Amino acid sequence: MRESNRPSKQSPAGKPGQRFKPSTDKSPRHADKMTSSSGRSSRRSDAVSGKFGKSRRHDAVTASGSSTSGRGERRSDTESGKFGKSRRHDAVTASGSSTSGRGERRSDTESGKFGKPRRHDAVTTSGSSTSGRGGRRSAEPAVRSSNVPKQAISLKSARRKGEWLELKLPDGLSGAPIGVIMKQLPIAAKLADKLIASNEAVKQGNHLRLKLFPQESPGFPADWEELNILYEDDFTLVVNKPAGVEVHPSVQGQRGTLAHAVAAYYEASGQSCRVRHIHRLDKDTTGPVLYAKNEFAHYEFDKAMREKKIERIYLAVAEGVFTQKRGKIDKPIGQDRHHSTRRRVSETGEPAVTLFDVVDTFADHTLVRLRLETGRTHQIRVHLSSIDHPLAGDGMYGGTRRYIHRQALHGERLVWIHPWTGERMEVRASLPADMGKLLDDLRAE
């Protein structure tokens, strides 16, 4: 899948708008915990400790609402001036002001937000959400909250400067200890501790600088392929995965995966980022794959996955005609004892829940839209097969290959919360050609 008319000018962060093709690196996930301070006989910092983990071509973008950080502070209304460059797109609506057509200017609300989003099938940024847990333990003198009241930090004042993110502090915080300030940002407590301990969180007058974009190696050799970038900014990359490509290597020494193509894209665009995929798709499933471009974003996305705040919506063509227009499949999934790569419904398996809505019905097939509440391997394929509606083309789970030679499953939309701004983001991926032909054939019957 290729994307045309990609911008070539560099972002403020020096990233040319080039792309290449095919996934990621696995990083341990960690829980984000918070402990509160007390003021008994000995003084303790009111900062609190926690844990952290390592964690562009679409048709529409909307950005609205205001967000709050998880530290109890209101974020500014729809941040502007955020970092990096995202690619051009087909249409943008921001806070009620809409534009259409490629190359048209976006509203002030959206402009400059982590640069200019790339062209893509659909991106939405909206809503009011929270991120981060706040709290950290600091070696600085304890400061009582009554002496240093919490104040909103305008995230739109933040600018990326190389490896650093710089933001202006409100007057009431310019004299506060850095530990108190960090508690009011959407940064997990333990990551905040790490930044302070390594002198990567520095307060200079009424400005705070955070080293959120350190140079990293990609972790995979570069394999040069064309990538269909659905969305990109300094924290996030979303790639439209084609069929026949694995997200990451499944055996040692394997090449040609999406991870290798993303590594090549980072190299070609001058980005020293580690390849960090947040979720996976099966080899023959198409659709968006989300990547975190730094440790901070990885932690936030990883936590969002655990808390089921990243939504994946799929379109599939299943065999047979559904008797229900919508429903819920709640069946645990485990590994097939007789086939190492297969999965099956099993009472001893892991909980798995799939929601479906019928979109269209044909003579002997049904187009359905599916939403995952869990993310088990082969979940949609196993669940639909278990109710006698295997995916068309899915030979492994009982489907026939009369119309299509892979499972007819496509990731239609991906919805996530932006790790820094807390805005709701959404991308859409166009239906691939083989599934489009499949639907045309079914309608012609």
**pLDDT tens digits, residue range 206-219?**
889 999 999 999 99
Pairing of the two strands 61-63 and 91-94: parallel
Cα 413 to Cα 311: distance, rounded to the nearest angstrom: 8
Residue 299: name the closest of 8, 31, 84 by CA. Answer: 31
| pTM of the predicted protein model | 0.67
Residue 162: name the closest of 380, 15, 349 by CA. Answer: 15
Joined tokens for residue 257: 């995966």
Cα 228 to Cα 239: distance, rounded to the nearest angstrom: 6
- Give the model's pLDDT for residue 156: 67
Q: Under a CB-based contact definition with an 8 Å cutoff, are residues 323 and 366 in contact?
A: no
Confidence of residue 205 (pLDDT cuts 50, 70, 90): confident
The residues assigned a catalytic role are: 282
CB count, 10 Å around CB of 187? 31
Joined tokens for residue 377: 């391997």
Distance of CA 113 to the CA centre of its chain: 16
H-assigned helices in 241-331? 258-268, 295-306
| pLDDT per residue as tens digits for the range 340-391 | 789 999 988 999 999 999 999 999 999 999 999 888 999 999 999 999 999 9
| pLDDT per residue as tens digits for the range 303-333 | 999 999 999 999 999 999 999 999 999 999 9
Residue 229: name the closest of 205, 264, 262 by CA. Answer: 262
Cα 153 to Cα 150: distance, rounded to the nearest angstrom: 9
